[in-house]
Amino acid sequence: MATPLTADRLLAELRAEGLKVVEVDGWRTRNRNHKGPWGPVHGVMIHHTVTKGTESSVRLCRDGHAALPGPLCHGVIDKDGTVYLVGYGRTNHAGAGDDDVLNAVIAESALPADNEANTDGNRHFYGFECINMGDGKDPWPEAQLEAIEKASAAICRAHGWDAASVIGHLEWQPGKVDPRGFSMASMRGRIDGRLDAPVPAKPKPPAKPKPPAKPAPRPAFPGRGYFGPGQNNSYVTKLGQQLVKKGFGRFYKVGPGPRWGDADRQATAAFQRSHAQLKGDADGLPGPLTWHLLFA
């Protein structure tokens, strides 16, 4: 025994199971509740439409016909696996059926033969109409069977039911043959397998791209006086470290360090000779242009 899922919860559970769901305009308030109560719910019932074509089938299940007003189910399952929600609440899909079958569904036990039509099923079952002629020749594509499996499992998962809570119309009402073309026993096996699997993970939103790192600020040229014989300061170290980064570390056997040495002069001169702008002044002592190019 369970309180029906809200319309929003039903939609969310179907989508969480990985189904493509189309909301037909007005489905949340389209029902037959004025004819009797909706709930408590005990299971899911599967039907075939005896129609061809998505648009006409969805319209029929939404509006019904003169002898049977719509909605005729909660969702229509197309051959491509899309679920069209057409109603919410009491719908004209199950009709009168066998109370022994209902008791077996509630107990999630083996189904007895349906030989009576003494119990209102419209209040107790979610209903899905599946587009198929029901003549035993119209194929059931795998995408459609998978959607039946997913829709049934989604509702069972939400209510804590197992696959025994899913039945066909032919197992409920004497004289009915739907769904025809696959067995409900095999479908319940598929649903059981899905319910035993881990709950489908909700897709995570894509991570926001990180903004590109800002380049380190270029150190300002301190002046020629910081370089040359006898100089010992951090600018000499920065110069040597940058020369190593630029590929001129072969001149250093030790270091670079803060004390100016011949390795600093040779490395600076080699760097200067590698640039056309500096070739004419490759004296091994950095000036503003050498510094600029070195730290560019």
pLDDT in tens, 29-65: 999 999 999 999 999 999 999 999 999 999 999 999 9
Q: Report helix angle 7-16 to 142-159, nearest 10.
A: 130
Assign 186 to helix, strand or coil: helix
Q: Residue 199 has what pLDDT?
A: 63
Find the distance separating the first CA and the last CA of the chain, reported in whole Å.
75
- Ranges of H-type helices in 30-79: 54-63
Q: Residue 201 has what pLDDT?
A: 61
pLDDT digits 0-9 by tens, 154-197: 999 999 999 999 999 999 999 999 999 999 999 999 999 999 98
Distance (Å, rounded) from C-alpha 148 to C-alpha 130?
Answer: 8
Q: Residue 200 has what pLDDT?
A: 56
Regions of the chain short of the pLDDT cut 50:
none
Q: Residue 276 has what pLDDT?
A: 85
186 and 275, same domain (yes or no) = no
191 and 228, same domain (yes or no) = no
Count CB atoms within 10 A of the CB of residue 218: 11
Asked whether residue 202 is domain-assigned, the answer is no
Whole domain around residue 63: which residue ranges?
A: 7-196
Q: Running DSSP on this structure, what letter comes out for residue 197?
A: S
Q: Give the residue from 196, 212, 238 where a domain finishes.
A: 196
Residue at token pair 């002898």: 67
Q: Residue 208 has what pLDDT?
A: 81
Which tokens belong to 170?
A: 């032919």
Beta strand pairing status for 96-97 and 75-77? unpaired
53 and 150, same domain (yes or no) = yes
Asked whether residue 203 is domain-assigned, the answer is no
Q: Residue 255 has what pLDDT?
A: 83
Q: Residue 296 has what pLDDT?
A: 80
Q: Residue 78 has what pLDDT?
A: 98
Q: Residue 1 has what pLDDT?
A: 59
Contact assessment for residue 249 and residue 243, using Cβ atoms and an 8 Å cutoff: yes
